[in-house]
Chains A and B, each alone.
Chain A
């Protein structure tokens, strides 16, 4: 397994965490958007993660056979979340429906904030893995020197 596939895996991890950060930022910013360009309340988004290399056996074989693992990092897809909107009784609101209820996006601000913390830690962890891989490879260059 060569060093650049290790870097690619960490890079894919960082990419995924950044995607999740963007989605959380978007959800939080639009937590109170009752009407978008299409006239409907904002639809919260979520990131669905899948493994880049599946099935799991392929990853095991690659690791055992020494083949390259690039492409095995996670891949995130941004999808619309099907959380139903919150109904709040506000009869004076311009977007209120016939019964006086306004549909706010089903964004749970608390869980988005918690997700932000998790994303930060995961990103840091990926950066650490990357730096460790780089330090190891740099040390390998020292083999045979110091003559």
Chain B
């Protein structure tokens, strides 16, 4: 009857984990850019796979493709660990207010993902504990 696996180890947890890693990498890039705002000849950085949308968009609804989705997510997670930051091709100079806006966006995304994942897991916890906790 149930096709979903709310316990950790399913595709959803993997996707959230990758997204959280990407958010941390993005934070590191923003922190570097803000710290080096006045450094001469500094090229702004960005996180690799900055938008997971292109890689994984449109594939999350169809649950029969979950195995391939998990493999790709794992691959992305590994490459995020190896070389998380690259030079940003679209900007030649650090624009402080844009970096602050990105920081706010990124922090919100991180917190939203953590909260959502926590709630999903507490649903499983409810089922496991039979509502007696």
Most B CB atoms within 10 A — which of A10, A11, A14, A130?
Answer: A11
User: Is B105 close to A, CB under 8 A?
Assistant: yes
**Nearest opposing residue in chain A for B105, CB measure:** A7
Question: Does B111 contact A134, Cβ atoms closer than 8 Å?
Answer: no
Give bound CA distance, A14 to B98, whole Å: 8
Give the chain B neighbours of A7 by CB distance below 8 A.
101, 104-105
> Which of B98, B108, B119 is the one whose CB lies under 8 Å from A138?
B108
A130-B104 CB under 8 A given contacts A138-B111, A141-B115, A144-B119: yes
Q: Which of A61-114 contact B (CB under 8 A)?
A: none
User: Is A137 close to B, CB under 8 A?
Assistant: yes
Q: Which of A1-17 contact B (CB under 8 A)?
A: 3-4, 7, 10-11, 14-15
Question: Does B108 contact A137, Cβ atoms closer than 8 Å?
Answer: yes
Question: Does A11 contact B98, Cβ atoms closer than 8 Å?
Answer: yes
Which interface class (under 10, 10 to 19, 20 to 34, 35 or more) fits B?
Answer: 10 to 19
Give bound CA distance, A131 to B104, whole Å: 9
Give bound CA distance, A3 to B105, whole Å: 9
Give bound CA distance, A76 to B97, whole Å: 17
Give the chain B neighbours of A137 by CB distance below 8 A.
108, 112
User: Is B95 close to A, CB under 8 A?
Assistant: yes
Give bound CA distance, A144 to B101, whole Å: 27
User: Is A18 close to B, CB under 8 A?
Assistant: yes
Give the chain B neighbours of A15 by CB distance below 8 A.
95, 97-98
Give the chain B neighbours of A130 by CB distance below 8 A.
101, 104
**Nearest opposing residue in chain A for B109, CB measure:** A4
A3-B97 CB under 8 A given contacts A141-B115, A144-B119: no
* Chain B interfacial positions (CB closer than 8 Å to A): 95, 97-98, 101, 104-105, 108-109, 111-112, 115, 119
* Chain A interfacial positions (CB closer than 8 Å to B): 3-4, 7, 10-11, 14-15, 18, 130, 134, 137-138, 141, 144
